[in-house]
Structure formats: structure tokens, C-alpha cells
Amino acid sequence: MKKLLLLIAIIFISNSSFAQDEALKKDIMKVIEMSGSAAQMKVAKEQILKMIPAEKQAAFLIEFDASLPSFYEKMVKVYMELYTKEDIKAMMKYYNSPVGKKIAANAGKFTEKTQEAAKEWGEGLQGMMMKYMQ
């Protein structure tokens, strides 16, 4: 009888922690969405699309979009490794604030502008590297 009660308790605890993990994963996905990550991915997709021949772009877009769920799953795992449930709740609260909403709304533009800055810096860095590599 004790073994049966112990088994039931273990099953209950494991199901409870699984449900908590699923709830946390859903909250993390909300944070990812609220943070503007989708806008950043859109910028990346548009930049990559420019390198794909026009006749292959439709097929690429289908495959690219199909790859996003697994990418977001990996992001969720990283969040779960680095942040607590309380941290995620605080992030959600932040991204619901006026400044959080502004940051999310500008995420795509921010990504574009910082990529431009990184490109300019990288070009200068190449010259500097060549100077020291000879």
C-alpha cells in the first residue's frame, strides 16, 4: 500500500512540474513576442531574401517560416536556463509598460540601424586587421 501511495505521489508531482514547465514556456513565448523578436526575425528574413533568386523566394519563405518554431523552442530553453519564473513575470510586466511597448514597436527599426552601424564598423575593422596582419 505504501508503494502505491508513493507511486501516486511521484506521478502527481511529475505531472504538476510538467504543467508548471508548460505554463512557464507559454509565458516565455509571450515575452519573446512582446520583446519584438518577431520584428527582428522579419528584418533578417528580408535581408536573406535579397540574396535568394526571385524564382526561389516563395519556396524559401515557406521553409524559413517553418523553421521558426524550432528556433523559438531553442530560445525558450535558453530563457529557462538563465531566468527564473519571477524574472519572466517581471519581463512581461516591463514589456506591458509604455517604454517596453515602445522598445518592442521599434525592434525592427533598431535592428536595421544597428546592423548598418555594425557593417560600417566591420569595414573599418577589416582595414585595421589588415594593417596588423602583414
Confirm whether 12 is domain-assigned.
Answer: no
Task: Please check whether residue 52 lies inside any domain of the structure.
Answer: yes
Contact in structure between 47 and 57 (CB atoms under 8 Å)? no
- pLDDT given for residue 6 in this prediction: 54
Query: What is the per-residue pLDDT for 12?
Result: 54
pLDDT of residue 3: 58
Query: What's the whole-model pTM score?
Result: 0.68
In total, how many domains does the chain have?
1
**Looking at the domain assignment, is residue 110 inside a domain?**
yes
Range of the domain at 23: 19-133
Residue 13 lies in a domain: no
Residue 114 CA: distances (Å) to CA of 47, 109, 110: 14, 9, 6
Distance CA 56, CA 87 (A): 42
Residue 81 within a domain: yes
Q: Is residue 11 part of a domain?
A: no
Q: What is the mean pLDDT of each run of 10 residues along the chain (134 residues)?
A: 56 52 92 86 87 93 92 94 96 95 90 89 87 80
45 assigned to some structural domain: yes
Q: How many residues make up the chain in this entry?
A: 134
The number of beta carbons lying within 10 Å of the beta carbon of residue 78 is 10
The Cα 97–Cα 103 span in angstroms is 10
The answer to whether position 118 is within a domain reads yes
